[in-house]
Amino acid sequence: MPTIYEVSELAGVSLATVSRVMNGSAKVSEKSKKKVRDAMEELGYRPNSVAISLASKRSNCIGILVAELDGAFFGSMMTGIEKTLRQYQKHVVITAGHSNDADEREGVEFLKSRNCDALVIHAEQLSDEYLIELSKGDTPIVVMNRQIDAIAEKCVSLDNVKGGYIATRHVLEKGHRQLVNIAGPKFKNDAMERIVGFQQAVNEAGIDFDENRVFEGDYLQESGAAAIDHFVMSGIEFTGVVCGNDQMAIGAMARLREYKRLPSKDVAVIGFDDVSFAACTYPTLTTINYPIKLMGQQAAKLVLKDVYKIGVKDIRQIYEPTLMERNSVKRLRSK
């Protein structure tokens, strides 16, 4: 790998001049410019971004922390961020927090130590205090899916309580009174908030909230199926299933069929997130839209503006969950 030194030598100019043509920082005569460019070309020179980063304290990289690298939700989020950043030659460095405090902290430290210019964080375990403290450091951050008042201007979030409420109310409005809730892991904020929304809607309908009607899943398909097993085995009757996310919803629908209880026809199922496959299930999944890709784009715009002073507009930070009515929730047929 040739270095800037070799380029300067071949071009017959100083290091400084080469550096100047690289980042157009100051006036350089056309003549030197050409000599430098030719030399670079000839040597197949590639600037070493680690050295640039060390010297300039900037990396043109934005760090992203997500719980996992797979999953439709995180995929959309990462894509939303990456694609908008890429338009401005910014790169992303992604790391997984695996939903545990140690990995999340380590991930943040890693990203900071790599000189990321900013961090976009979707943390499940990091406390609000930690995040607030972090925001005071020298690496700007954007927090996804969490509303922290002290750093509201750095949050891009959606009202999960409201989402859970809307979902539940929709099922109730269709005449279902015997509901169960397949929730996400309770240690996750959004999972808990969605449960709260469920509870609100249920109470509002004059139904007693019953802990036993909430199953704690893990946001993966299999746990949606396990939840159905659980409810059936426990003899808990239900005609409506409110799910913490779409993945568990499809797992639940698949298992319901095995019990000969047809989704939509015999039991209403509603998801959350509106991931891409939700429109392709059978029955198509009624769910709550979570515009995570768009929100990722917004997060990116936020750093573009704050960190790189790039003028971008239409930055919105608080989003509303909306009902996506499809076919998995039908009116309860009177017996």
Pick the piece of the chain touching DNA (CB under 7 A) from 31-39, 187-195, 201-209, 284-292: 31-39
Pick the piece of the chain touching DNA (CB under 7 A) from 28-36, 87-95, 153-161, 219-227: 28-36
Beta carbons within 8 Å of 117's beta carbon, 6+ residues apart: 58, 59, 60, 61, 62, 90, 139, 140, 303, 307, 308
Beta carbons within 8 Å of 73's beta carbon, 6+ residues apart: 245, 273, 275, 290, 292
Using rule CB under 8 A, residue 93 touches a copy of itself: yes
Backbone angles phi, psi at 109, to 5 degrees: -60, -45
Q: Which of 83, 70, 91, 72 is nearest to 297 (CA)?
A: 83
Using rule CB under 8 A, residue 97 touches a copy of itself: no
Residue-wise over 56-65: b if at least 16 C-beta within 10 A, else e? Answer: eeebbbbbbb
Binding-residue pattern over the window 44 to 83 for a copy of itself, x denoting contact by CB under 8 A: --xxxxxx-xx----x-x------xxxxx-xxx-xx--x-
Q: Which of 132, 130, 129 is nearest to 154 (CA)?
A: 132
Number of residues that bind a copy of itself (CB under 8 A): 53
Which one of 29, 100, 234, 276 is in contact with DNA (CB under 7 A)?
A: 29
Using rule CB under 8 A, residue 280 touches a copy of itself: yes
DSSP letters spanning 40-63: HHHHT----HHHHHHHHS--SEEE
CB of 44 to DNA, least distance (A): 12
CB of 133 to DNA, least distance (A): 20
CB neighbours of residue 267 within 10 Å: 24
Which one of 10, 13, 78, 131 is in contact with DNA (CB under 7 A)?
A: 13
Q: By the criterion CB under 7 A, which residues form the site for DNA?
A: 1, 3-5, 12-17, 19-20, 22-23, 25-29, 31-33, 45-48, 51-52, 54-57
Q: By the criterion CB under 8 A, which residues form the site for a copy of itself?
A: 1, 46-51, 53-54, 59, 61, 68-72, 74-76, 78-79, 82, 86, 91-96, 103, 109-110, 112-115, 138, 220-221, 225, 247, 250-251, 253-254, 257, 276-277, 279-282, 284
